Amino acid sequence: MKSQLRLPFYLTIKYLQRGRKWTLFLTLFLMSVAFVNLIFISSLFNGIIEGTNSQIINTMTGNIYMTPAEGSEFIENKEQVLVDLHSIDGISGVSAQTNVPAQLKYKKISGSWQIIAVNPQNEASVTNISKKIINGSYLDQDDDDQILIGRQIAGGEGVEQNAFSFKGAKIGEKVSIVMNGISKEFTIKGIFQTKFLPSDQRAFITEKSLSKMMPLMGDKTNTIVVKTDDSKNDENTINRIKEKGIKEQIFTWREVAGLMKSVSESFTSINILMTFVGMLIAAVTVFIVIYVDIINKRKQIGILRAIGIKPYIIISSYVILSAVYAVIGVLFGTAVFYLVLVPYFDLHPFVLPICDAVLVLSKVDYIARAEAIMWVSVFSGLIPSAIITRTKMLDAILGR
């Protein structure tokens, strides 16, 4: 009985030892390519989704987004609310973002871009706008006549929204903020680019500037954004905020992502579809490779049957052989992916209008795809070997 159990493994070793080396290499190469293709597609779309989500959090909403309580137009006692938020465990930064109801005007061009008044230091603790300056410099606390504008507002050659921009505004030039018929002149201190179009269509001034334009705003704001230490525990952080007695409306970044949430969901759907296509391609590739390999060995199979080897032993040996192909292919493909592709795309990410995407593959995705290749390989060895062992012994030996 033990010899019967060992025989499939013995035959598998002999197949590998006596087979043509270039055929073995080609088989393993194709298995590796099939696996890399399968995980590459998934990791690319995961990278785009994660990159988009990161852009939303780091350039616009933070992890938690707060608006005035129902029935209120503003968040009152802004400074006290910020102090209360800072005292909560898990919160690493807070910033009040006050939307300025005004238009921007540059020479003869004007537009209704979003203008936001912030405390520059607080804003830098929540968003990364301060690190995305491409010309000029970031705002200082005491700036009262300086403005920071996004690349899509400044415009210029190569800018995606140049047709609706200032068409080449530069640092040091003057723009005007027009509100209720009153115009105040600002100097462009810096131009930023996050590579996220909704963020790059905004402009920032300081709270000091706003207080001169709208003295009644004082200690009021209409938005507070919060940065947390661990985005996975945002719901717990929201509960702690509510326990502080803060009555404002509180949302996670996903709830206010708007259009970009739909974009992320679309990428998720495309990822599922492309993963299915990738698995289908991998299945066909593996099946053809192993089927051709078994067909080329039909004479050997006929001889094995002639000397009394049971068909189930022959089938088991090819199933084991297919599993060996899969394991080696997965291991080699994994090495190529993590040692070559991932480092390369970390240095040279995919440049997209919404983010710079790198390859991101979770352990769950990796294991699922490795298992898929394994099962496909097992069935690819099982089906053709079962078919061939049912052919007439003489036909198999003669190769007919």
In tens, the pLDDT along 248-278 reads: 899 888 887 765 566 666 767 777 777 777 7
Two tokens at 375?
Answer: 């099962």
Q: Is the pLDDT of residue 353 over 80?
A: no
Helix (H) or strand (E) holding 383: helix 363-389
> Residue 226 in contact with residue 85, Cβ under 8 Å?
yes
Two tokens at 183?
Answer: 């115009």
The CA-based angle 144-132-198, given to 5 degrees, is: 85
Determine the 3-state secondary structure of 111 from DSSP.
strand
CA 373 to CA 79: how far, in whole Å? 57
Question: What is the dihedral sign for C-alpha 13, 14, 18, 19?
Answer: negative
Please give the pLDDT value at position 3: 53
CA 216 to CA 330: how far, in whole Å? 65
Please give the pLDDT value at position 76: 87
Please give the pLDDT value at position 188: 95
pLDDT tens-digit map of 198-257: 899 999 999 999 988 888 877 889 999 999 987 778 888 888 888 888 888 998 888 877
CA 108 to CA 393: how far, in whole Å? 89
Using pLDDT thresholds of 50, 70 and 90, give the confidence band for residue 1: very low
Query: Mean pLDDT throughout 60-75?
Result: 89
Helix (H) or strand (E) holding 264: helix 259-296
Length of the chain in residues, anyone?
A: 400
Using pLDDT thresholds of 50, 70 and 90, give the confidence band for residue 343: very high
Question: What is the dihedral sign for C-alpha 110, 116, 121, 127?
Answer: negative
| Helix extents (H) in 87-206 | 120-124, 151-154, 197-200
| DSSP structural state of residue 209 | H
Of residues 363 and 262, more confidence is placed in 363
Q: Is the pLDDT of residue 327 over 60?
A: yes
Of residues 15 and 44, more confidence is placed in 44
pLDDT tens-digit map of 301-324: 777 667 767 777 777 877 888 888
Two tokens at 126?
Answer: 């929540």
Helix (H) or strand (E) holding 227: strand 224-228
Question: What is the dihedral sign for C-alpha 380, 386, 391, 393?
Answer: positive
Two tokens at 89?
Answer: 């465990």
Please give the pLDDT value at position 377: 80
DSSP letters spanning 39-72: HHHHHHHHHHHHHHHHHHIIIIIBSEEEEPPTT-
Residue 236's DSSP bridge partners are none
Of residues 138 and 46, more confidence is placed in 138
- No. of H helices and E strands in the chain? 14, 15
Lowest mean pLDDT among 132-136, 320-324, 377-381: 377-381
Of residues 256 and 56, more confidence is placed in 56
Please give the pLDDT value at position 201: 93
pLDDT tens-digit map of 165-203: 999 999 999 999 998 878 899 999 999 999 888 899 999
CA 335 to CA 332: how far, in whole Å? 5
Question: What is the dihedral sign for C-alpha 212, 218, 222, 227?
Answer: positive
Query: Mean pLDDT throughout 37-50?
Result: 85
> Residue 213 in contact with residue 115, Cβ under 8 Å?
no
CA 354 to CA 337: how far, in whole Å? 25
Question: What is the dihedral sign for C-alpha 158, 162, 167, 169?
Answer: negative
Query: Mean pLDDT throughout 331-354?
Result: 89
The CA-based angle 35-40-43, given to 5 degrees, is: 130
Q: Is the pLDDT of residue 97 over 90?
A: yes
Question: What is the dihedral sign for C-alpha 248, 250, 253, 254?
Answer: negative
Give the residue carrying structure tokens 């129902």.
Answer: 70
Of residues 292 and 79, more confidence is placed in 79
